[in-house]
Amino acid sequence: MVRYTCQAVRGRIPVIAGTGSNSTREAIHLSVEAEKAGADGLLLVTPYYNKATQKGLITHYKAIAESVSIPILLYHIPGRTGVTMTPETIVTLCREVPNIVGVKEASGNFSSIAAMMQMADGALDLYSGNDDQIVPLLAMGGKGVISVLSNVAPRQTHDICQSFFDGDVKRSLKLQLEAVPLISQLFCEVNPIPVKAALNLMGRQAGPLRLPLTEMEPAHKEALAAAMREYGIL
């Protein structure tokens, strides 16, 4: 999939491949292969299920980073992995490892994120991992969002960020709040169930889901379609 994407893109935009695993050996293998396939960067989720201490997380990420030469973004999403990286751990990795350059933050813990950004003092790139929190993360020094919403509304997601960067924070906030009802429907069941349903509704032929994910409940799908119509994308 990564190889196909890189071939289709042909260098027009960067490709960031998700190669994280709860096995360091597997994550190294996937990361090396993604770099060979032409990926411009990697997104590495924290090791899930077996978890790790903060020392283990640092060792895990350093081992992967040493195996490749392309930039790496950490992916911090405790709600899906059961693992919390402390601000100190994230900053240490971004300071000490040349090709670990930032973090996709989906913890929703603004106090922790603020502490991290204060400690980092410009040493890391911050990206929002939650579509309903783009503007607050940009206000803390964020560079953008790694987004679910952008799969169905790329221009609108772009404009939320660009308006902020252009200094029109009022418009950025307006666009953020206008997107909230659709974002809520895109997460009414576990991601990526709703976004695949949305793409199929748009005729994008995203196809079915693989177990253990199941097709969207009919009532939820109707609510999603209504939100898409209200947002002007269906």
Q: Which residues are catalytic?
A: 75, 104
* DSSP helix/strand/coil, 104: strand
Q: Which ranges in 98-217 belong to alpha helices (H)? A: 110-120, 134-139, 154-165, 169-186, 193-201
Q: What are the residues whose beta carbons fall under 8 Å from the beta carbon of 172, sequence distance 6 or more?
A: 135, 138, 160, 161, 163, 164
73: left (phi over 0), alpha (psi -120 to 50) or beta: beta
User: With the CA atoms of 222, 228, 231 and 234 taken in that order, what torsion angle do they form, in degrees rounded to the nearest 10?
Assistant: -120
